[in-house]
Amino acid sequence: MPSCHEIPYVSDEHVKRITSSIRINITQVDLQSEEVPDKPADECLEPVHSNDGDNGKIIPISEHPLPTIKPNSYIYILLLQRKHPDTFSKFQATKEKKQRIAEPSNFASTQLKLFEKPQSVSTDLVNKLVINYIIKEMRPVCTVEKPAFVKLVEGLSGKKPCDRKTLRSKLEAAKSTDIDYIKKELAKTKYVCTAADIWSAQNKSYLGVTVHFIDDKNFERKSFVLCCKRFKFAHSFDKIAEVINEVHTF
């Protein structure tokens, strides 16, 4: 069992460093013996005299509790390295061993996620996602028959996308659903604003019409695209007004 230490007359700062070292020696690890002390480190320490401004006053240990060093902290590792080099070497070896053991398991779990089979999805969900992509990105219907696109969908979902004919029928059904929804939303408000735009691309003219309004309940601005169609006439005001009137009566 480690013997009690007798501390000479030293400064408070020196006392703190010495008591910290004694606490580690007594309570943390004993390189020479595996025995555990019968009493804590605080009872092995005697009151000390301080010459730093206390005029020889005896300072009990209870008034200055010893600092607690957390394991794996910088101070703990530093003291372990300086005071107990043999134990520090064992500590480092154990730490590296744990890291080597943990690395293969992490790699195996990552490898399993990369090469495991994709989650199965229904054909209806695949077709809905394909339709949403075609509409949002304004892609031609022939996209679903492109070999690269078919391979992409099959690789991600395990399902084959619908063909061009099926896609057209589904687009018409989606169009009818969207028109009904827009009509219901417009019927809820009193005032709307429409905006038209004409542009040309590859010697072909197009006209787009959008509608904008403010929700009466939450004052949120809402917008919808009413049409995007070919404009085969001269860009005169009467032809533009004629097409806009057709859109307003949909």
Is the pLDDT reported for residue 31 higher than 50?
Answer: no
Mean pLDDT of 13-39: 49
pLDDT digits (tens, 9 = 90+) for 184-210: 999 989 899 999 999 998 889 999 999
40-57 pLDDT tens trace: 444 444 444 444 554 444
pLDDT of residue 111: 54
206, 199 contact by CB (below 8 A): yes
Q: Which residue has the higher pLDDT, 167 or 73?
A: 167
236 pLDDT higher than 80:
yes
Q: Buried (b) or exposed (e) across 18-32, using 16+ Cβ within 10 A?
A: bbbebbbbbbbebee
What pLDDT, on a 0 to 100 scale, did the predictor assign at position 82? Answer: 80
Q: What is the pLDDT of residue 134?
A: 92
Listed in sequence order, the residues at least 6 apart from 5 whose beta carbon sits closer than 8 Å to its beta carbon are 18, 22, 44, 45
- pLDDT over 80 (residue 69): no
- pLDDT at res. 45: 46
d(CA 66, CA 247): 84
- The span from the CA of 158 to the CA of 120, in Å, is 7
Tokens found for residue 110: 């990552």
Q: How confident is the model over 15-22, as a mean pLDDT?
A: 54
Q: What is the pTM of this model?
A: 0.45
Average pLDDT along the chain: 75
Model pLDDT, residue 10: 45
Residues 191, 222: Cα–Cα separation, whole Å? 12
Structure-derived torsion over alpha carbons of residues 77, 83, 89, 95, reported in degrees to the nearest 10: -20
> Rounded mean pLDDT of 65-78?
64
Look at residue 29 and tell me whether its pLDDT is greater than 50.
Answer: no
Tokens 């300072």 identify what position? 59
Q: Tell me the per-residue pLDDT of 78-116, one tens digit each, with 9 for 90 and over.
A: 777 787 788 878 878 888 887 777 665 555 555 555 555
Mean pLDDT of the 168-192 span = 90
Pairwise CA distance, residues 209 & 186, whole Å: 15
pLDDT at 32 over 50: no
